[in-house]
A and B are shown apart, each in its own frame.
Chain A
Amino acid sequence: MQATNTTQIRRSLIWSIPSFLLILSLSIWSIKYSFLNTIIDLKNSSASVRITPLHLAIVYFPVIAATGIIAMIQKSIPCKERTLKIAERIFALSVFTGTGVVLLCFFVIAPLQYYAMPKLGYTRCNILEDHPTIYFTDWVKNPDWCVRGKSREWVNEQARLGK
């Protein structure tokens, strides 16, 4: 969209850059808090694993935020038309890809786990604490540890005690 002038673009940076930064920091926190934990759990073949399909979109979101910030700064300088076109294309592509990743999370990753996780020796357990929910699925190594209302820490504790 053609903005009327550079002043308007620069003015929009006052609230757009903090918004991008907020969501960037939130997504980085989320990656550190849960996505990495899931990867570590899967790698260590942990007693319980929580699969959140939307995490892939959250992992991708820093790309959208970073390209958005760079493109907006370039636009407010303003850079050459040729440079702007590159930034614009990268941003448009990242947004489309981001939307695609969200759809992929819901329609591919979510069903895929039901195929892959039993092969790794896990049993689905959607009666643990924080359930029922559409956002994540819990998997346990031993079906006996699937007890209604118990937390994942409790499951891991049982696995430790059983060893």
Chain B
Amino acid sequence: MATSTDLTRPYISYEKAFNRQITRAMDSQQVDVVVLTPQEFIGVLQDRSRNDPRLEASLRAILAQSALGRYWTQTASPNAGKPWTIPASMLANDAYLFTRTLIALRLAGARTYVKATPKGTYIIITGRAGFRGNLLQGTRFLTTNPRMVQMGLGMRGLQGMARGGFILSLVVGIGVETLDFIFNDEKTMHDLVGGIGVEAVKAGLATMVGASIGMAVIASGLTTIAIIPLFAMAVSVLITSAILNEADKSWQIKNNVIDALKTITDSTAPGIYRVRTDNITPKELNNSEELTRNNDFPSRQSSNRLSPINK
């Protein structure tokens, strides 16, 4: 460390000089330290990358190279990204509900049937009391009874099961697609939106077909055995999902949707556009005129008012 050469100033000890120098250095090199939670940090990065495609690309590359990203793309994603994920999750859900219902009914010994009376529709459970599970103490339940609804018996029960299955498939589908989008740097926003859309439609269609068949069996009184509609619904959902996946694979529906989304967005040439405000003439319109004008050649209208600056 250099000694003080300023003769106008009194001699100070080495230690004091060192402390002063450190203080001066600290004053001249002030750095703001912000402590952020991971969520806040991601939020800041997202905010900055919104207007900076290069930063977004580099962030996605970093995420893809992270340990979790590598695990996702190499180990989990080849399984999770496949079209069987949602039907498999729905099957697991159905299997769980079935098992619960069958345990409660102890199918081997308890026979269930439905009886409509002027007071309401009842699910009657017959057979030796010992064969019924601990869940069911009684022998006669209204179809709106929460226990029956929980077990998927009766119209309400089927509706609840269908809703639960659909929500589960949506959650699984959106989760898988989103994770794939975050950790797989080859996936774009088109893959995310197209993937979620197609999976949701497939799950919705399978649930709708299954639920309508199950409910039709109840509504038409096709059978008195209470668990038949539940079985019919589960089998229908499973088979419809499997066939829809085959159809998707055969006709490349998801890929076509993603390609269409890419084409739509790519057809607009990138660049900065200027809005020609001089072309816009204020004119009072009533509602019907406005609607007609908007429907007529919307693209030409917009092209008259937009002109690319850098082309």
B-binding residues in A (CB < 8 A) = 1-4, 8-9, 11-13, 15-16, 19-20, 22-23, 26-27, 29-30, 33-34, 54, 57-58, 61, 64, 68, 71-72, 75-76, 87-88, 91-92, 95-96, 98-99, 102, 130, 132-135
A-contact bits for B210-241, CB 8 A (1 contact / 0 none): 00110111111111111010011011101110
Which of chain A's residues have a CB closer than 8 A to the CB of B213? Answer: 16, 19-20, 23, 68
User: Are B217 and A68 touching (Cβ within 8 A)?
Assistant: yes
User: Are A134 and B220 touching (Cβ within 8 A)?
Assistant: no
A20 to B, closest residue via Cβ: B213
Q: A1-B218, A92-B223, A98-B235 are in contact. Are A133 and B247 (CB under 8 A)?
A: no
Q: Specify which of B121, B232, B250 is in contact with A1 (CB 8 Å cutoff).
A: B121
Which of chain A's residues have a CB closer than 8 A to the CB of B78? Answer: 132
In the docked arrangement, what's the CA distance between A48 and B88, Å? 25
User: Are B235 and A57 touching (Cβ within 8 A)?
Assistant: yes
User: Are B232 and A95 touching (Cβ within 8 A)?
Assistant: yes
User: Are A12 and B239 touching (Cβ within 8 A)?
Assistant: no
Could you jot down 8 A-B contacts, CB within 8 Å?
A: A1-B224, A2-B224, A27-B239, A29-B243, A30-B242, A54-B242, A75-B221, A91-B228
Which of chain B's residues have a CB closer than 8 A to the CB of A1? Answer: 114, 116, 121, 218, 221-224, 226
Which B residues, 171 to 215, have Cβ-Cβ distances below 8 Å to chain A?
Answer: 208-209, 212-213, 215
Question: Can you add 14 more A-B contacts, CB < 8 Å, to A2-B115, A68-B213?
Answer: A1-B218, A16-B216, A16-B217, A20-B213, A23-B209, A23-B213, A29-B243, A30-B246, A57-B239, A58-B243, A72-B220, A87-B222, A88-B223, A132-B78
User: Are B240 and A134 touching (Cβ within 8 A)?
Assistant: no
User: Are A23 and B247 touching (Cβ within 8 A)?
Assistant: no
Q: Specify which of B212, B219, B235, B243 is in contact with A3 (CB 8 Å cutoff).
A: B219
Q: Specify which of A12, A29, A95, A102 is in contact with B247 (CB 8 Å cutoff).
A: A29
Of the listed residues A19, A76, A133, the one surrounded by the most CB atoms of chain B closer than 10 A to its CB is: A19
B206 to A, closest residue via Cβ: A23
User: Are B220 and A92 touching (Cβ within 8 A)?
Assistant: no
Measured between C-beta atoms, what is the minimum distance from A30 to chain B in Å? 5
Measured between C-beta atoms, what is the minimum distance from A107 to chain B in Å? 12
Which of chain B's residues have a CB closer than 8 A to the CB of A92? Answer: 223, 225, 228
Q: A13-B220, A16-B213 are in contact. Are A132 and B82 (CB under 8 A)?
A: yes
Measured between C-beta atoms, what is the minimum distance from B96 to chain A in Å? 15
Q: Specify which of A23, A96, A132 is in contact with B79 (CB 8 Å cutoff).
A: A132
Cβ of B257 within 8 Å of any chain A Cβ, yes or no, is no
Measured between C-beta atoms, what is the minimum distance from B84 to chain A in Å? 5
A-contact bits for B240-284, CB 8 A (1 contact / 0 none): 101111110110000000000000000000000000000000000
User: Are B225 and A58 touching (Cβ within 8 A)?
Assistant: no
Q: A26-B244, A58-B239, A130-B249 are in contact. Are A4 and B220 (CB under 8 A)?
A: no
Q: Specify which of A2, A15, A27 is in contact with B114 (CB 8 Å cutoff).
A: A2
Measured between C-beta atoms, what is the minimum distance from B45 to chain A in Å? 34
In the docked arrangement, what's the CA distance between A163 and B226, Å? 59
User: Are A3 and B225 touching (Cβ within 8 A)?
Assistant: no
User: Are B217 and A2 touching (Cβ within 8 A)?
Assistant: no
User: Are B242 and A2 touching (Cβ within 8 A)?
Assistant: no
A4 to B, closest residue via Cβ: B116
Closest 10 CB pairs of A and B: A16-B216, A3-B221, A2-B116, A1-B114, A12-B219, A19-B212, A26-B243, A9-B220, A30-B243, A1-B221
Measured between C-beta atoms, what is the minimum distance from A64 to chain B in Å? 7
Which of chain B's residues have a CB closer than 8 A to the CB of A96? Answer: 228, 231
User: Are A133 and B84 touching (Cβ within 8 A)?
Assistant: yes
Which of chain B's residues have a CB closer than 8 A to the CB of A23? Answer: 209, 213, 236, 239-240, 243
